[in-house]
Structure 1
Amino acid sequence: MNLQEKCSVLYFHQLCLSESGDGTYGALGWVEKGNQLTRFDVLSNIANLNGASVLDLGCGYGHLKKYLDERYYNITYTGIDFMPEFVKLAQQTYAEDPNALFIRRDFAEGELPLADYVFASGIFCYRSSDENYYKQLIERMYTAAKKGVGFNMLDIDKFPISGFLKAHGIASTKAFCESLSSNVVLKQGYLPEDFTVFMYK
């Protein structure tokens, strides 16, 4: 993803932030809160996450942490996002939580922190002129994961063509993931335009 494309993503979220307000699901670009929670429900079923360390790319306000804390215990959570407003509020919200760390940086650059499970919800929906961007990010997530990776994408067969948003082919995505992992699981049917991929070590 080049600099112009990254600036477009930042601008998009700045608009969402001004329209919906800080701390809201709308600021993150989600149409409905329920859809985000549905995606979280699928991701959280990757394994028994009790006592696990989790890395969340594109963490926003840390809503996934809240979701996981309600279902599992003793999770060590690290969230990365490059929107300063998101990270600032997340840091304030979880300032007293010793098991929460929020980092403002571009997760597409540099090494990722190691974690048992690496998650990404929504980050692959932004268009990049570099098709290798998505593969490289998936590979970096898999390298950082000790036990597994979970991410979701828009289905190119169900999602209308958009100049800003990006949908992906299920078969080609699964095939690439299988070139990295011998244990790949595909999840469909939870939302009309979505699919989720689990990659296990």
Structure 2
Amino acid sequence: GRFSIVDWGCGYGGFFDYLLKRTTNFDYTGFDITVPVLEQARKVHSSAANATWVDRVEDLKPSDYLVATGVYNIKFETQNDDWLTYVLGQLETMFALANRGIAVTFLTAYSDPPKQRVDLFYADPLRLFDFAKRNLSANVALLHDYGHWDFTLIVRKAAP
């Protein structure tokens, strides 16, 4: 059936294009705080009747799903503990906007230390799993087996 989805940190709307190749039976909201990028996404997808583009969290409406890919990887000079606190708050905000669940990717703390960069955030998958399980839902999955130096945290409102 038809579903709705928020693409948190949508950039130019690449995920919208990905979905469109598979189905047209969805309502998409692209959210990004980088206004010039969002304006370009709006322009490129101006004929898409099932796409909405917003740059403020306050303008987001609840949707079935919310996805965020690589949004929290770059922390610049922010301390890891401060960035983690920010990320945990963001997870709460995202989960509140999703009727069915969220999927969020992070760089993993299990990355090779010599290859890690100080401006990037390498999340502890166990810490995020624990936070989600204790604070968001009993239905949490952690995907850390797909060959990249990142992982996906999936938090559902109900069991699949």
Which TM-score applies when normalising by structure 2? Answer: 0.86
Q: 1:126 aligns to what?
A: 74
SS in 2 for 1:158: coil
Any residues of structure 2 matched to 1:118-197 within 5 Å, and which? 118-127=66-75, 128-129=78-79, 130=82, 131-158=84-111, 160-179=115-134, 180-197=136-153
What do you get for the CA RMSD once the two structures are aligned? 1.6
CA deviations on 1:17-39 (whole Å, 9 max, x unpaired) are xxxxxxxxxxxxxxxxxxxxxxx
Letter of the structure 1 residue corresponding to residue 48 of structure 2: D
Gaps of 5+ in 1: 1-49
CA offset at residue 84 of structure 1? 2.3
Q: 1:43 aligns to what?
A: none
SS in 1 for 2:19: helix
Gaps of 5+ in 2: none
More helix by share: 1
CA deviations on 1:141-196 (whole Å, 9 max, x unpaired) are 00000001001000011154322111100111111111111111111222330100
CA offset at residue 126 of structure 1? 1.9
Identity of aligned residues (%): 29
SS in 2 for 1:135: helix
More strand by share: 2
Letter of the structure 1 residue corresponding to residue 68 of structure 2: A
SS in 1 for 2:48: coil
SS in 1 for 2:72: helix
Regions of 4+ moved over 3 Å? none
SS in 2 for 1:125: coil
Any residues of structure 2 matched to 1:91-130 within 5 Å, and which? 91-105=42-56, 107=57, 110=58, 112-127=60-75, 128-129=78-79, 130=82
Number of positions where the alignment pairs a residue of Structure 1 with one of Structure 2: 149
Letter of the structure 2 residue corresponding to residue 188 of structure 1: H
